[in-house]
C-alpha cells in the first residue's frame, strides 16, 4: 500500500475520532465588541501557532468552523503579514529560535540562536524587560517549556539545545512567574526521573538528562509551587507556578498511525486560563506568551489529522485570551506564527497529487464542518518554508499590525507596553 493510500484511509477515521472527542469551537466575538481597543495597553497576551501560516489557518477554519464560519483568531479586528527570514549565513529560511529571537529582542540572528546576536552576544529580552518594569510574566506551551520559542523571551544562549541551561536561567535570572508545559527531562539530572517515568513504551528515548542539578527542587526553594497533573494545576493557588506535564512535548509527533498522539495532560486552554488567573493579580500588568507547538511538529511529519487537532486546541486558547481581553480593555492580544511548516496547500479532493506518494503526499479527505464537501491537504516538504505568516490582533496598539512588516516589528510594538 502506498503512503498516499495509507493517509487517505487513516485521515477520516482519526479525524472522526477527533471530532467525537469534542473539538466543537465556540466563537465568543460579537458585532458589539469586534472593534480594536484605543486605550492604553497594560497587558500583553502573545500567541504563537508554531509553524502556522495562511494555509494552516484556512484548513483549520474549514475543518473547525465551516465554509461560512470564522475562527476566533481570524476574527480579531486587525490583520497583517509578517516576513520571517533570519540573518543566517547558511539559510534564508528561519527556524523557531531565530524567529522568536526577532520577536523577543527586535534583532534578527542565526538559526539555533536564543536571543543572542549573530556574534553570539546576549540581547535584552522582552520577558526580562517586562519583569524589570514590574510586570508579572509567564509562558505556556505544549512543547518543552525550555524549547526555542518561549526560551527566546526569557533566556540567552548560543544554542537552542541547551535546554537545562535555559531552565536554570528561568529560575536564577529572568524568573517568570508562571511556567507551564512539558520538558520535565531537562529539569532533572540523568537517572533521576520525576513525575514522568523515563523511557516509557510510548517513547523509549525520553529520559531525564539535565546537567544543572535538581532544578525542580531549586524552583521549590525559590517559591514556585510545582504541579505535574491537571488536578494539581486546578488546585494551585497564587504565587509562582511551575507545571511540567510530560517528559518532553505534551504529544507524540509521528506520522499518522505510527504512534502519533495528541492528548495533553493539561490542555493549552486550561494552562492559559490558569496563567491569566495568576498573572492578572499584578497591578502593573503582565506579559504572557502562549504557544501551540503541535502545529509545527505534526506538519514536520506531514500529519494533517493531528495538525488540525492541534490547531483546534490553539483556537480554544485564543478564545480564552480574547474573552479575557473583552473584559480587560487594557489588554493587547496578538496571534501569529513563527514560520510556515510543510509547504502546505489546501486543495480540492478531485485534484491529482502532484507531489507523489512520498513524505509530501496528500492528506485527506477532511470534512468541511456543516457541509457535505471535503478538502485535501497537500504537502511540498517536511521542513520550514519562507512564506509570510498572518498576524491578527485585538486591543490597544492592535492597529500597529496593519500592513506587511518584518517579524522584528512584533518586538517594536510589544516593547511599547512591556518596557515602561
- Catalytic residue list contains 96: yes
Identify the bridge partners of residue 10 per DSSP, sorted by sequence position: none
Q: Is 409 annotated as a binding residue?
A: no
Q: Report whether 253 contacts 342 (CB < 8 A).
A: no
CA 354-358-362 angle, 5° bins? 50
Q: What is the C-alpha to C-alpha distance for residues 84 and 93, in angstroms, rounded to an integer?
A: 7
Q: Is 301 annotated as a binding residue?
A: no
| DSSP secondary structure string for all residues of 208-232 | --BSS--HHHHHHHTTEEEE-SHHH
Q: Is 405 annotated as a binding residue?
A: no
Q: Which grid cell is 115?
A: 536571543
For the beta carbon of residue 220, count every other beta carbon within 10 angstroms: 14
Q: Is 95 annotated as a binding residue?
A: no
Q: Is 147 annotated as a binding residue?
A: yes
Q: Is 50 annotated as a binding residue?
A: yes
Q: What is the C-alpha to C-alpha distance for residues 191 and 261, in angstroms, rounded to an integer?
A: 26
Q: Is 339 annotated as a binding residue?
A: yes
Which of 3, 85, 96, 228 is labelled catalytic? 96
- Specify the residue for cell string 503541535: 294
E-strand ranges in 163-283 read 178-182, 224-227, 240-244, 251-252, 261-262
Q: Is 206 annotated as a binding residue?
A: no
Q: Going edge to edge, which strands form the sheet with 374-378?
A: 345-348, 374-378, 363-367
Q: Is 384 annotated as a binding residue?
A: yes
Identify the bridge partners of residue 403 per DSSP, sorted by sequence position: 80
Q: Report whether 383 contacts 359 (CB < 8 A).
A: no
What residue numbers does the annotated binding site for Mg(2+) cover?
50, 147, 149, 291
What residue numbers does the annotated binding site cover?
50, 147, 149, 291, 296, 300, 338-339, 384
What residue numbers does the annotated binding site for Zn(2+) cover?
50, 296, 300, 338-339, 384
Enumerate the active-site residues. 96
Amino acid at each position: 500500500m502506498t503512503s498516499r493510500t495509507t493517509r487517505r484511509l487513516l485521515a477520516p477515521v482519526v479525524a472522526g475520532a477527533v471530532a467525537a472527542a469534542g473539538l466543537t469551537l465556540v466563537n465568543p466575538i460579537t458585532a458589539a465588541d469586534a472593534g480594536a481597543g484605543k486605550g492604553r495597553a497594560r497587558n500583553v497576551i502573545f500567541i504563537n501557532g508554531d509553524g502556522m501560516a495562511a494555509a494552516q489557518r484556512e484548513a483549520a477554519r474549514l475543518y473547525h468552523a465551516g465554509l461560512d464560519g470564522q475562527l476566533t483568531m481570524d476574527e480579531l479586528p486587525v490583520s497583517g503579514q509578517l516576513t520571517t527570514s533570519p540573518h543566517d549565513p547558511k539559510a534564508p529560511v528561519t527556524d523557531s529560535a531565530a524567529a522568536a529571537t526577532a520577536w523577543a529582542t527586535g534583532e534578527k540572528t542565526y538559526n539555533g540562536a536564543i536571543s543572542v546576536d549573530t556574534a553570539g552576544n546576549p540581547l535584552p529580552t522582552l520577558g526580562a524587560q517586562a519583569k524589570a518594569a514590574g510586570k508579572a510574566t509567564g509562558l505556556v506551551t505544549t512543547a518543552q517549556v525550555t524549547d526555542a520559542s518561549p526560551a527566546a523571551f526569557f533566556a540567552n544562549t548560543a544554542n537552542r539545545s541547551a535546554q537545562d541551561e535555559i531552565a536554570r536561567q528561568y529560575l536564577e535570572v529572568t524568573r517568570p512567574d508562571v511556567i507551564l508545559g512539558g520538558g520535565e527531562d531537562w529539569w532533572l539530572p540523568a537517572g533521576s526521573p520525576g513525575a514522568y517515568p523515563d523511557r516509557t513504551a510510548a517513547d523509549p528515548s525520553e529520559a531525564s538528562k539535565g546537567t544543572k542539578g535538581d532544578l525542580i527542587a531549586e524552583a521549590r526553594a525559590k517559591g514556585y509551587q510545582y504541579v505535574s497533573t491537571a488536578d494539581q494545576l486546578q488546585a494551585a493557588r497564587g504565587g509562582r507556578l511551575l507545571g511540567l506535564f510530560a517528559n518532553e512535548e505534551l504529544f507524540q509527533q509521528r506520522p499518522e498511525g505510527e504512534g502519533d498522539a495528541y492528548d495533553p495532560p493539561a490542555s493549552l486552554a486550561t494552562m492559559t486560563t490558569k496563567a491569566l488567573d495568576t498573572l492578572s493579580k499584578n497591578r502593573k500588568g503582565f506579559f504572557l506568551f502562549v504557544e501551540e507547538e503541535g502545529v509545527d511538529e505534526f506538519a514536520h511529519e506531514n500529519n494533517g489529522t493531528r495538525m488540525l487537532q492541534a490547531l483546534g486546541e490553539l483556537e480554544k486558547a485564543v478564545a480564552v485570551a480574547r474573552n479575557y481581553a473583552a473584559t480587560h480593555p487594557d489588554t493587547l492580544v496578538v496571534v501569529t506564527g513563527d514560520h510556515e511548516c510543510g509547504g502546505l496547500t489546501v486543495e480540492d479532493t478531485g485534484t491529482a497529487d502532484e507531489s507523489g506518494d512520498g513524505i509530501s503526499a496528500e492528506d485527506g479527505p477532511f470534512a468541511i464542518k456543516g457541509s457535505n464537501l471535503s478538502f485535501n491537504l497537500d504537502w511540498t516538504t517536511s521542513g520550514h518554508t519562507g512564506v509570510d505568516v498572518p498576524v491578527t490582533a485585538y486591543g490597544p496598539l492592535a492597529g500597529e499590525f496593519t500592513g506587511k512588516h518584518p517579524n522584528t516589528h512584533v518586538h517594536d510594538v510589544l516593547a511599547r507596553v512591556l518596557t515602561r
